[in-house]
Amino acid sequence: MLKKDFLFVGGEWVEPNGSDRIDVTSPITEESIGSVPMSEPADVDMAVAAAQRVHAEGEWRRLSIKERAAYLTEIARLLEPRIEEAVRLQVDEMGAPYRWIKRQTEGRILGVQRYIDDALALETREMRDGPAGTVLVDRQPVGVVAAVIPWNGPVPLVLGKIYPALLAGCPVIVKPAPETPLSAYLVAEAAVEAGLPKGLLSILPGGRELGEYLISHPGVDRVSFTGSTAAGRRIASICGDRLTRTTLELGGKSAAVLLDDVDLDAHLPLLIDSSLPNNGQVCHATTRILVPRLRSAEVTERLVEAVSQMQVGNPHDEGIDVGPLVSDRQRDRVESYIEVGVREGATIVCGGRRPDIGMGWYVTPTIFSGVSNSMKIAREEIFGPVLCLIEYDTVDEAIDIANDSEYGLGGAVFTSDVKRGVEVASRIETGTCRINEGLSGGGGGPFGGVKHSGLGREYSREGIESFYEIKSITLPLGFDPAEL
């Protein structure tokens, strides 16, 4: 059992201000696997003060991007030999299948150079011709960043928040989810060993109340949130009152459009990968599958055959495809949606039950056929291994169905004609869309959603630019910009 007694505040291990603790329960065994201190508002005050101090002193923001990048490269180098440890701990915390979370964790740790390259590609000082002379467009770090993350990929999410903020010159305070605080400590340990200057990074475990205190803190200049749409609305309201800059990466109910020329032999595994990652607990999962009516019976048969063969069990086993849901509360939520789907008249053609496993919060992968896009199971984010098959007659109808949603985060088009796929993808109202083997979640480009799936973009150059304030400095006529 892992028991942490200190908080990571401003780059140092400190005694918590309170005595309450967060107990971490494994969704596999339903037993406690560790605990961490529960952060208090006073701990947030300390973290914000440390961040404000290091930002005001200016040493970090005056470094070049290459100099800041050297620290992040060292953090990644120190985490690399601990990847297996990080993967196993995340499996314990939230039940992610080993293969899936290892791919995510390796990608984020070993992919630090991509963030660095994107940061270097962004001009922090840019000269432009104005109507009456030269304009200097100057980008400066926005200030103290509060980052609030969910539980469905803790190490990749922590790194995904701190990489761009630190590269842009901003100190960052991360609040991990109460379900998965243990693995965040690995990142803190690497930051200490890498010699990251004091004040730049704090990691404060806590619940919703602590998150609200953090994002509403007057010393916070920017908020970066990943989580549910309901929580995002609340955060947007708080940030709106203070006019705090914010990025919201929220929920989804994404559509996978199978065109009539889809090659099921080639694309069915890709469809499953897009629709059932991490036990269905991924915001951009394509859980609405739009099928041409003339091929509906064939697609249903093939999909049921493939999904029914997926291995459900202990996610530490590298051969397991589906592990438990993160909590008993989440399992209850998923099961309630399955009951609603039946009442609405949809037909369960696969799954829909608990597997015969003695412990753990499991639900077998479930497929509904005969789904109308007006049904609750087709409109609300379930966040579990539940797929809806929806028939269409024409491509225009498929696009209309895909767009008939309050969400717009992910999407997919499967076709033997990539050019046609791009045309369809460009008409789907969403922040990201894959075609066939294309990666989900933006594939390394900017990531974010439209409509109720969020505000702003993360990752790539657009994500890093959001951590800067942009100032226009008009230069006098006749001044040579080369002198700057």
Q: What is the set of active-site residues? A: 249, 283
Element (H, E) at 314: none
The two tokens of residue 308 are: 């029914």
How many separate helices (H) and strands (E) can be counted in the chain? 17, 21
3-state secondary structure of 82: helix
Element (H, E) at 430: none
Q: Say which amino acid occupies 226.
A: T
442 phi and psi angles, rounded to 5 deg:
95, -15
Residue pair 274/429 in contact (Cβ under 8 Å)? The answer is no
| Environment class of 482 (CB within 10 Å of its CB; exposed 0-12, middle 13-18, buried 19+) | exposed
User: Read out DSSP for 213-265?
Assistant: HHHT-TT--EEEEES-HHHHHHHHHHHHHHT-EEEEE-----EEEE-TT--HH
User: Read out DSSP for 335-390?
Assistant: HHHHHHHHHHT-EEEE--S--S-SSS-----EEEES--TTSHHHHS---SSEEEEE
Please name the residue that has the structure tokens 């597997």: 355
